[in-house]
Structure 1
């Protein structure tokens, strides 16, 4: 059994919150955001490559993404990958770049995306609680091995619970901000 390590627990919980923020950044809100295309993989050179390894993505206008493909022979595959990524984006190919107008979200789609943001937040809370469980088990094991006293274990458990509460609060705040952004409220 691993020994209790507060810094490790903190790092793992913080990682869960950061992963949530990354997942949330990929949700479309009706405004252009380069993170929207982070999940797009393009079938080129005989393998699947992330879009950001083939092109530069920029936001020239609030409701427009511009994709500058470095190798012009890859424009077709990049356009196909964006269309089939399930993002609801329809690239306009002008020969050198792909322009992606960001369409308005329907009310139904907004609700779906808000629900998805909630699901991402729940997954982050579960990950944080799993880290807490590991920490609590390590503390009990340390106490059973007589490496720490009962008082030290209880004090450390209080620290772990406070850290857990703080991280869950951070996850909830990130999700609430994203839901507010998606629903346009």
Structure 2
């Protein structure tokens, strides 16, 4: 049985792009985005939990996030979790609601964030190229075992390269859009 599996290769490349999109959504722009708080964890009930399991996050205004804590006893823990995440936000508590005004981004900070978006993109492209390398090695091995012909190997290598180009372009597009969003505030 051949080791080459196109659907697995495509799934892994798409996974790299999805991971990139998740990383990019966590980068702060000038606008409030609830995904900004996705990396926040809270120490409650004797364990570390994601913020979204103890509170609701929404963006009532373009430059404000609001965290509605479900259990009043956890409000201080949520506040500490947000501060620990080091997002540069200053929580203001009002009962069970924590308001997080988003400060203006300095030009220098915008450039740093845009650079970080580029680094995330490069990491995703490296992951995609690693999947391509694995696929190419599998094809050569299949040919060596006489499971596929040389012509089939070349045709399938072209297919793998087209998939690689497609997913690298998706990664570039996602990063460029995020960089543009960060720099155009």
Residue aligning to 2:108: 108
Say whether residues 1:147 and 2:152 are aligned partners: no
Rounded Cα–Cα distance in structure 1 between residues aligned with 2:77 and 2:28: 22
Tell me what 1:16 maps to: 16
Alignment of 1:73-152 (within 5 A): 73-152=73-152
Residues 18-57 of structure 1 aligned to structure 2 (within 5 Å): 18-57=18-57
Shift of 1:2: 6.7
Q: Secondary structure at the match of 1:121?
A: helix
Q: Secondary structure at the match of 1:32?
A: coil
TM-score by length of 1: 0.97
Tell me how far apart the structure 1 counterparts of residues 2 and 111 of structure 2 sit (CA, whole Å). Answer: 43
Q: Structure 1 residue runs of 4+, over 4 Å off?
A: none
Indicate the SS of the match to 1:93. Answer: strand
State the partner residue of 2:177: 177
Q: Secondary structure at the residue paired with 1:49?
A: strand
* 1:139 alignment partner, SS class: helix
What TM-score comes out, normalization by structure 2 length? 0.97
CA RMSD of aligned residues (A): 1.2
Question: Are 1:67 and 2:67 an aligned pair?
Answer: yes
Equivalent-residue separation in structure 1 for 2:117 and 2:101 (angstroms): 23
Please state how far the C-alpha of 1:84 moved relative to its aligned partner: 2.2
Hey, what's the Cα distance between the residues in 1 that align with 2:2 and 2:89? 47
Deviates more, 1:78-87 or 1:19-28: 78-87
Gaps of 5+ in 1: none
Please give the alpha-carbon distance, in whole angstroms, between the structure 1 residues aligned to 2:94 and 2:174.
37
The secondary structure found in structure 2 opposite 1:23 is helix
Question: How far apart in 2 are the matches of 1:174 and 1:44?
Answer: 35
Q: Distance in 2 between matches of 1:103 and 1:83?
A: 15
Assess, with a 3 A threshold, how the Cα gap between structure 1 residues 2 and 57 changes in structure 2: closer, same or farther. Answer: farther
Q: Deviations over 1:87-133 (max 9, x none)?
A: 11111101120111111101111111111101100100000000000
Q: Is the alpha carbon distance of 1:71 and 1:135 closer, same or farther for their aligned partners in structure 2, counting shifts above 3 Å?
A: same
Using the alignment, how far apart are the partners of 1:74 and 1:105 within structure 2?
30
